[in-house]
Structure 1
């Protein structure tokens, strides 16, 4: 898509605030001086066996783009692709129930949807959100002197791939599922209160891929401390050390021109930096002086996943990422 979109010429202007001329986590259209709508869509094949958990994860993943832009989800519609001859109707009901319940947790009613017959099962949501035009958080905007906060542990891509390959325990996959199904609503809302300058969510391109989108063609770069990055420690253990996801090579290629990973980081930790996440955490750039208060506020509101300052924003690293 990176090669195709530049050829997709479309008139942009008027009330379009964020569109395909500068793609972000969601499109944004101004309705009034005080109200803008965000729109996003995301759906994918199952990454866990339990239908209800799959529905919850898919919904959380779709809602994440609204949160990454600083918005509030207000409605959604289902997208469902079905191998009709092969799938159990009870499994479909479980998927839809999982999506419904997770969207309800977000205060986002599902008001419709579309289903099509397909050779492979896929589920997700198209989500509409609301935001004040002055409060939009974009990928680009990090300032020198900011720090980077990551709000979920890395490793769910490797964990789910390992489970399918016969490695790892079901209890570990259950923990990963819970992480993926956790909404980013609390970290997103508090990011505004603590002066965030930029934000994105970590999904298919991995931490370094999405961090790269935040620095590419800007006047700043990121220095990341690999030891500070929250992760599932089990992924660094022997059963997973040589495991790689299908996206590992493409994610490395995506950032090769801008990312440098020091030798001391180690092979297993480096793989985590490229690990594709599903419903991953937010990567938030905010003033260093406010980072500790931000982390305390997140925990104080009952958000249970590990969050940490993982790096700094530096003017000397123009458009680059250095991992030490």
Structure 2
């Protein structure tokens, strides 16, 4: 049996360049260039670019790809495609088509394995109701798969990561712990039952983002991926100029991930994330290092993080429960103060 994770040095959104290093790379790179139709560009580290087509339509465009996070090729394709489409949903958009990004060590992986990866991605696109309309491929030393995803959103339904308001409640729709559990998989320390549990989370489309974007009670939205909960929340705080106060005990975490984290099983990206943005986080209570690292654990195809007006929270939680997000919960709120995060 071929184990895809043996062909890559990292996997899933844990492959991302650390936030601090990425800022150094992008420093002084000319981005956006002042285009009036560019509604969302690179300035706030949002999930996708958004370009105004006409008064009623804006194009949402994003790309996401990574190396294998699991060994099964169909599952890898499904996870990568679900993760890429999440960026469109996180903007309140409806996907309309996708293109494949494919890099494979052609002389190492059998053709049928590569086909299976593609089939997994195509199945997710079919589930989302969009065509997989083409793409690009290269012969690369490590396996890479992902999508370019395009969507449409009404400008009034566009949701960004930089529009949270003081008083908003913060809701997380999926549990954390994906990076921990997939690292355990690579170390052959994850049970079949735990694998099925984390796979279910990673392959759940965030299509509820379409309904959330149309709800005026949802002020801001982003998805939680490679920079972990604290990293993506910090982007919300800095872009919105608010302070977030969250309660660690309220944050949903996959049960097996807690056990594994306490044993010291973490992807290297969890610590890289923490070192990159720890200056923006206050830990109000003493806690074991592994509990903090769960909050920086890179998520692959993670949940949506919402900033919701207090009077809309009950309806949003009801919607999320109805759509199958059983772990969705309020984890904190936005307050006045220096942009940053206080973890209680």
Alignment of 1:45 onto 2:40: no
Please name the residue that 1:25 is paired with.
47
RMSD over aligned Cα, in angstroms? Answer: 1.6
Q: Deviations over 1:3-48 (max 9, x none)?
A: 2323112422132111234442101111111111010000100101
Q: Deviations over 1:301-322 (max 9, x none)?
A: 3x1441110011111x320101
| Alignment match of 1:236 (pick from 258, 263, 274) | 258
Alignment of 1:87 onto 2:82: no
SS in 1 for 2:268: coil
Question: 1:297 Cα deviation (Å)?
Answer: 1.4
Distance 1:313 1:139 in 2: 13
Distance 1:217 1:80 in 2: 33
Worse-matched range after superposition: 291-300 or 196-205: 291-300
Please name the residue that 2:157 is paired with.
135
Distance 2:216 2:181 in 1: 33
Please name the residue that 1:308 is paired with.
329
Alignment of 1:55 onto 2:80: no
Distance 1:309 1:67 in 2: 20
| Alignment match of 1:251 (pick from 259, 273, 284) | 273
Distance 2:330 2:198 in 1: 21
Pair 1:217–1:98, CA change in 2 (3 A): closer
The number of equivalent residue pairs is: 322
Q: Deviations over 1:182-239 (max 9, x none)?
A: 0011254235325211111000000000000001154311111111111112222267
SS in 2 for 1:247: helix
Alignment of 1:211 onto 2:233: yes
Please name the residue that 2:309 is paired with.
287
Partners of 1:78 and 1:110 within 8 A in 2: yes
How do 1:1-324 and structure 2 match up within 5 A? 1-10=22-31, 11-193=33-215, 195-216=217-238, 218-237=240-259, 240-301=262-323, 303-315=324-336, 317-324=337-344
Partners of 1:12 and 1:19 within 8 A in 2: no
Give the TM-score of the pair, scaled to structure 1.
0.95
SS in 1 for 2:138: strand
Distance 1:226 1:161 in 2: 22
Give the TM-score of the pair, scaled to structure 2.
0.89
Q: Deviations over 1:120-169 (max 9, x none)?
A: 10000000010012221111111111100001010010001012123221
